[in-house]
Every structure is written in structure tokens, then in C-alpha cells.
Structure 1
């Protein structure tokens, strides 16, 4: 039986892509992931993630990566309620992973507050029979999802590294990071509009842009 785990990295970031990764393995091979020591990527150091990602890709049967650009995210966010639209976009991306890998059973880390609904939305986009187990914090429960989480985080870190090489220190890309906020503030002052790797629809980006507009500083 072919088992697939799917997770994302960068969902809440204001800079960089939302990366979704699926990894595929024979059910009897799950123990090898456990032996590697896979766990939720947020609980690992960058160096450890890099090492494990290489070992995971040697161990699994196949994997697939989807990178949702900020422009794609902005498009759906502007269409309606942010989280609702983003959840559907992510469900569609996870369905793309499933269509490519063709597993028998899939474990996904649910982004929707309703894990059952999230799984149903994914299933609507898959043209063949597959069992989907949609759970919150699945990356802490199922080793196959932990493995996907690690690869997704490493892929996103590489994207941020490339942005940093070209444009300077953007920090982690999250609004809670002072380096990210400083980069956005300085960029908007210098250029008046954001580059393509920024999610312009994000509240943080809109607030900083509004603050930088002439005559707005006294109002905010």
C-alpha cells in the first residue's frame, strides 16, 4: 500500500511562496522514517532539517513539490474572505500532489479549522479513489507528514535564501520578524510598491504601504 504525507511551509508569511510537499512511501517503509527521527519541522534546527531532508528523499519512493507564488495567493485573497479562499487554494494544491503521486492513503495537516471539511475539499479535486486522513497537527502525529513538513520547510528556506542573496536581508519572511518588517518599510520608502515576492494582500504589507504614503503618517 502506498502512503502519502502532505504538509506546507510559509502559509502565514508575508514574503516568499507557500510551499506544499507530498512524500510517498510503501507502508512497510514507514519505520525507516521513524528511525531517521523525523518530527515536526518547527522542532528542528535548520542544520538538522537539511540533513533529514536529504535522508528522507533517499528513503521515500517519490515526492512532489508545489510552490504557490505571492501573486497566486494575492489573487484568491482579494476574491473573498482571506482564510476561506486560501484554504481552498491550498486544498487544490494538495490535490495536485495526490494526482501526481497516486497514493492509496493520504495523511494531510489540515489548514482549515474544520479538518473534515479540508479533507473533503481536497477529495473533490481528485478524480480517483483515495482515502484522505485530514488532521490538525498531523506533522506531530504521523511520521509521513513529519517527513513532508521537513522537506517543505527546507524548500521554503532555500527560496528565502535566494531572495536574500538578491535583495538583502529579508529575515524569515514572517511579520513577527523585525528584520522582515524593516525590509518592507525600507523597500516601500525607496520604491513605492512591493516586489513580486511580497504578498501585497497581507494586512502587514497593506498597513506598511499605507503608512508610507504622503500625508498618512499623522493618521496612523
Structure 2
């Protein structure tokens, strides 16, 4: 049994990280789908392929880590350590012989080695940067993670935009629309909205700016 694991949503200041793992005995059905990195696909194509992937694989596992849980975990671990922890949980569930992972660490070998630590069994871990563009099994995991995160973000946007009637944006820290949304929410309600990763620099800076404005008054 081989498996592939990838995440979606590591960078945004809003919403969850979603980690997906897929397991299969024979990759042939995935090869026939012509999979590629989820970021290179349109949303409708991702949705179509996600359905085909779920039908083709032997097993899959999805873990959604909400923003508040990310903040809690960041108190005691780095983002790389957080991903290692979640990847391990998926490997323990799927029990593959070989596991291909998209490395989050700048040192891909170290990332794989850290995953292998503390596992109750010892599969072969192949850890590579851009594994979602190299291995179809990781492309499949990437597509599942991205489609599920997109749905989660859509629900969050619908919930939050109803309170301000302005667009939320992409949720990424560098997005001016997202920055404007968070700043406007902070001015109106006095705090950051739900689903925001308060441990992110963008969120901390906005809170500090508001506190400084209060002191200047």
C-alpha cells in the first residue's frame, strides 16, 4: 500500500489548514486521471477530479485544523512541527508501506525523518519539495485537501461577509482586500473575527495598531 499526503492553507491568516492523505494498492487509476498540482487546476476541474479520486483510492483521510486550533498548537510548536504532527496522524490511520509527502521544511530529508519519529510502525517515507507536481499519489491528496479547504473558506466568507457587506478576499496576509476586511471588522467590532489565526503576524499587527490608536486618543 502506498499513500500520498499534502496540505492546503498553510499560509492564509483566515481559515483552517486541511491535510489529506490517500492510499492505494496500485496507482494505475490515478495515472489515468492525469493528475497535476491542485493549484494548476480550475475549481470545477478540482471538484470533478476529487470525486474520481475518492472513487479510485483504497482509503483516504482528511484532517481539518481550524484557526483557533492552529493558534493553540503554535504556542508549543512551529508550523513545520504542526504539519509533522498532522501528517503522522494520517499515516497512523492509513498504515501504508510507502508514503510520499510534500515537504514543508526547507530540508526535505529532515521533514521526512521527523515524520518517521514516534510512528508506531516504520513505513518508507519519501519526502520531497513540490511532491504534488512529481507524484500522482500526492497530487491526489493535494486535490482533496484544496477542494475541502475551498468549501470551508466559502462557508467562512459567507458567514463573515454578512456582517460587514464587504468582500473577505483570498484570506492571504498580503491580499489588500483581506487586510481591509480585517481592519474594518476590528474598527466596527473591537476585535478580530472568528476563523482568524491570531498567531499570524498580520493579525498581531492589526491588534497592535488598534491598541496604539487607543493610546494616542
TM-score under structure 1 length normalisation = 0.90
Q: Deviations over 1:24-74 (max 9, x none)?
A: 111x2x122121121101111111111111111111111001111212222
For 2:164, the equivalent position in structure 1 comes to: none
Moved more, 202-211 or 87-96: 202-211
For 1:121, the equivalent position in structure 2 comes to: 114
Work out whether residues 74 and 82 of structure 2, in 8 Å CA contact, stay in contact via their aligned partners in 1.
Answer: no
1:24, 1:184 → 2: CA distance?
39
How many residues are matched? 211
Whether 1:174 and 2:183 are equivalent positions in the alignment is no
Provide the secondary structure at the position in 2 that maps to 1:129: coil
Correspondence for 1:157 among 146, 150, 153: 150
1:216, distance to aligned residue in structure 2 (A): 6.7
Taking a change above 3 Å as real, the CA distance of residues 141 and 187 of structure 1, as seen in their structure-2 partners, is same
Correspondence for 2:63 among 46, 66, 78: 66
Work out whether residues 80 and 104 of structure 2, in 8 Å CA contact, stay in contact via their aligned partners in 1.
Answer: yes
Correspondence for 1:206 among 186, 204, 207: 204
Work out whether residues 53 and 147 of structure 1, in 8 Å CA contact, stay in contact via their aligned partners in 2.
Answer: yes
1:151, distance to aligned residue in structure 2 (A): 0.5
1:20, distance to aligned residue in structure 2 (A): 0.4
1:134, 1:39 → 2: CA distance?
18
2:201, 2:12 → 1: CA distance?
11
RMSD, aligned α-carbons: 1.6
Whether 1:111 and 2:104 are equivalent positions in the alignment is yes
2:214, 2:54 → 1: CA distance?
50
2:19, 2:142 → 1: CA distance?
9
Provide the secondary structure at the position in 2 that maps to 1:189: helix
Work out whether residues 123 and 132 of structure 1, in 8 Å CA contact, stay in contact via their aligned partners in 2.
Answer: yes
1:103, distance to aligned residue in structure 2 (A): 0.8
Structure 1's consecutive aligned runs of 4 or more residues displaced over 3 angstroms after TM superposition are none
For 2:30, the equivalent position in structure 1 comes to: 33
Q: Deviations over 1:84-127 (max 9, x none)?
A: x1111110100000111111100000001111111111111310
For 1:57, the equivalent position in structure 2 comes to: 54
1:175, distance to aligned residue in structure 2 (A): 1.5
Correspondence for 1:90 among 83, 88, 101: 83
TM-score under structure 2 length normalisation = 0.92
1:215, 1:10 → 2: CA distance?
31
For 1:145, the equivalent position in structure 2 comes to: 138
Unaligned ranges ≥5, structure 2: 162-166
2:186, 2:100 → 1: CA distance?
41
